Amino acid sequence: MARLIKAFPVAAAVALALTCTAQPASALDNGLALTPPMGFNNWNAIGCGISEAFVKQTADFLHTHRVNGRTLQEAGYTYVNIDDCWAQPDRDAAGNLVANPAKFPDGIAGTAEYVHGLGLKLGLYNDSGTMTCSSKGFPGSFGHEAQDAMQFAKWGVDYLKDDNCKQAPGQDTRDATIKRYTAMRDGLAAARRATGQAIVFSICQKGDNGINTEDWSPAVGNLWRTTGDIHPNWDRISSIIAKNIPLAQYAKPGAWNDPDMLEVGNGSLTTVEQRSHFSMWAVMAAPLLIGTSLTKASEDTLSILANTEVIAVDQDRLGKQGKQIANNGGRRVLAKPLADGDVAVALYNETGSTATISTTASAVGLGGGSYRLTDLWSKKVSTSTGTISASVPSHGTVLLRVHVK
């Protein structure tokens, strides 16, 4: 039998919690990523198997394949991001990074030119340490930050994912970590001044060595990882959601909590779990980076990724991450204010059984007396004088857009 869980505001407790939490650093003011980045990253799909051909195939798919009347590019997916294993094992005689010519015969610059020709943008993987995370071992940027940043800009890279593996001795402290990432931030800024090429900076320090990212990264990068790596199973995804939820205060335009790439379409996740995963990333204003091989994706997977109403919640220009207003044994309510005055409400059930989860319009921050509720998956529209309630399946999320009539 479904359980009835009612959620009401606890403003005093929330206010106290905020006063006891470190205040976020000033956001990096580079004018980039004013909404969470959207695109594709190959790692969850093919790992080290990246190639120029795969990048071009993915870019073509984003540009041409229509889902519900529009392409994924038109839905907002802009970046085609290359992850680890693109480089040669050694730098050249001048100390520059070199793309593997067998994988990238046109080099990174030629690949970027192709992607740009479709109106898309190219992302590239890097590491802040001496080597990348791959066991095959490719050069990191430690001690080469300015040089590599200039190289990336000259190649036409639009997005840089900067990982945190294989540190030199003494480089695993908090101060050393911040210094390394700040050096790359400054290198990217200098390269932009010299070339005009703007590069979104994604910090992939995942809390390694007990070093949190959210309190210093907003002043250094446009987005920062908040958890360890994602995997295509519900236990891992739900644990990531639980860790990312309390970090809402750090998110703002140009500065985003990053709970990792999407696993929609991967593993044995059910349709309910995939929709829940996508819904929670949207209400948490997370980057939406597709992580499944698009040419092999089912129409069900593509329809989830192309849900424009859910994407609109993620991409809302107000730039607020949804805040949790209730949690009763894993039956959670999150509310995300939107720029037009609406509120996105996620009724999220991480438990093993169906539950009716309820809240009120006043609890999610709305005044007035009559409301229109739109379910962003079923498309059903209902009205209410204040109660917001739904039966939510195990591991499911009902995502509503609530409008004052």
Question: Quick check: is 229 catalytic?
Answer: yes
Q: What is the DSSP string of 110-156?
A: HHHHHHHHTT-EEEEEEESSSB-SSTT--B--TT-HHHHHHHHHHHT
The Cα–Cα gap between 281 and 32 comes to 20
What number of helices (H) and strands (E) belong to the chain?
A: 11, 19
Joined together, the tokens standing for residue 145 give 């930050």
Residue of 163, 258, 260, 342 with catalytic role: 163
Name beta bridge partners: 131: 139
The question of whether 235 is a catalytic residue gets the answer no
A 10 A CB-CB count for 109 gives: 15
Q: Which residue has the tokens 């010299």?
A: 194
C-alpha dist (Å) from residue 78 to 17, 20, 73, 122: 37, 38, 6, 8
Which token pair is 384?
Answer: 């209410």
Query: Coil, strand or helix: which one is 79?
Result: strand
Among 321, 335, 247, 361, smallest CA distance to 17 is for: 247
For residues 347 and 247, give the distance between their C-alpha atoms in angstroms, rounded to a whole number: 18
Among candidate residues 310, 316, 208, 204, the one with its CA nearest the CA of residue 260: 204
Gap between the Cα atoms of 264 and 270, Å rounded: 9
- Residues 350, 356: Cα–Cα separation, whole Å: 12
- 145 contacts 133 by C-beta, under 8 angstroms: no
Q: Are 58 and 286 in contact (CB under 8 A)?
A: no
Residue of 106, 172, 208, 229 marked catalytic: 229
- Catalytically active residues, by annotation: 163, 229
